[in-house]
A and B are shown apart, each in its own frame.
Chain A
Amino acid sequence: MQPSEADLKALMIASLDGDKAAYRTLLEEMRWRLCAYFRNRLSRDAAEIDDLVQDTLMAIHNHRGTYDRTQMFTAWSYAIARHKLIDHFRRSGRRQTVPLDDAASLFVADESASVDARHDLEKALQTLPPATQALIRDIKLRELSNAQAAAARGMSETAVKVALHRGLKKLGAYFHGEGGAK
């Protein structure tokens, strides 16, 4: 099963206290997460993505002292990834002959919007019962199938469908009630 925010945070706090095994697990986990993050936003050659992942892991390592133990670990680490991505766009903007200034600024705006959206989604998810939250994370965010999620939680597939449907409806209501203000 995928580690949750709480798992990652616990690993990070152990790492800050010097636990090398926990740190190794955290880095492995972050490696594929960052791969997915950059692949979704660049979809170019593997070497470029590999460089960015390595750069970001290096930054996470060098700046681990800036992690506040009360903060969300995913918010912290993805903010670093985003910083690295913007850097990457700036550098490649300078290299290429295509005027990338506009493209880069569009990208920056789009990026911050998606980070905000993620944050909003996290807040909305917090309002649901824990079991439903886990289902939505598994199926909608990690793209497991209904059957896989059912197996992982020891539920029937029908029960998963019903719970998922209710959860999404509640989320919808949350964003309609509060999303209007944003």
Chain B
Amino acid sequence: MSDEFLRSLSADLAPVSRWTVARRLALGMSGGVIVSAVLMLVLLGPRPDLDQSMTTAMFWMKLAYALAFAVIAGLAAERLARPAASARGRIEWLAAPILLVIVIAALRLAAAAPDSRALMLMGQSARVCPWRILFFALPPLAGLVWAMRGLAPTRLREAGAAIGLAAGGAGAFVYALACTESTAPFLAIWYTLGIAACAALGWALGPLVLRWR
């Protein structure tokens, strides 16, 4: 290798922002979310009772739960997009929303009449909910894969799982605007399951699609 090569690299040097990684991930994520939102509006439409539901705590809790996954896993991905970096110190924050929702769900279940518990758990749409979340998570997942491939992850499974979780959160956020379920136990089980499925998909795909050159 010639000195010429080193000279050409240093001649090409331009200052680099500290936000390079975050900006690229945000770009991939927002592109995917826009596609998901359009798909949701076309295929399902927003829930018909959107106006009234916006006054209920449960509506906001669903959005907040989904957003927590997108943000916390996104921050973990911001680490894992860097060679040799680990997500420790960021990914642990996910325990907070998960535990909170589980506790609220348990309290609601405990307070409910025994014969209404099954309905609280299953709602009207338990069978389709995780699949729909996974479906609406695919565009953000694709956007985040694109972003990661331009960065430099070296723990490909972990990076894949992190963007899977973040995309799962984004997909759940979009779907929450169409979904009419309104119980905490439903959220705790079926939303979490949909998001987890997307994380598993990212984990499986990581080594296959995140290699960069």
Contact = CB atoms under 8 A, between A and B. Distances in A.
B84 A65 contact: no
Interface stretch (B16-24, B107-115, B129-137): B16-24
Contact of A66 (B7, B9, B81): B81
A94 interface: no
Contacts of B154: 79-80, 82-83
Interface in B1-19: 1, 5-7, 9-18
Nearest to B155: A79
Contacts of A78: 84
Contacts of A67: 82
Centre residue among A66, A71, A72 by max chain B CB count within 10 A: A66
Contacts of B12: 61
A69 B21 CA distance: 13
Contact of B84 (A16, A57, A58, A71): A71
Interface residues on B, range: 20 to 34
A16 B82 CA distance: 15
Given A79-B84, A80-B83, A59 B152 contact: yes
B73 interface: no
B152 A53 contact: no
B10 A66 contact: no
Nearest to A83: B154
B9 A58 contact: yes
B9 A57 contact: yes
Contacts, number: 82
A74 to B, nearest CB: 9
B85 interface: yes
B157 interface: no
A121 interface: no
A20 B16 contact: no
B213 interface: yes
Contacts of A61: 9, 12
26 contacts: A16-B15, A17-B15, A18-B13, A18-B14, A20-B11, A23-B9, A27-B9, A28-B6, A31-B1, A31-B6, A53-B1, A54-B5, A57-B5, A61-B9, A65-B20, A66-B151, A66-B152, A68-B79, A68-B85, A71-B84, A75-B83, A75-B84, A76-B82, A79-B84, A79-B154, A83-B212
Interface of B: 1, 5-7, 9-18, 20-21, 79, 81-85, 151-152, 154, 211-213
Interface of A: 15-18, 20, 23-24, 27-28, 31, 50, 53-54, 57-59, 61, 63-69, 71-72, 75-80, 82-83, 87
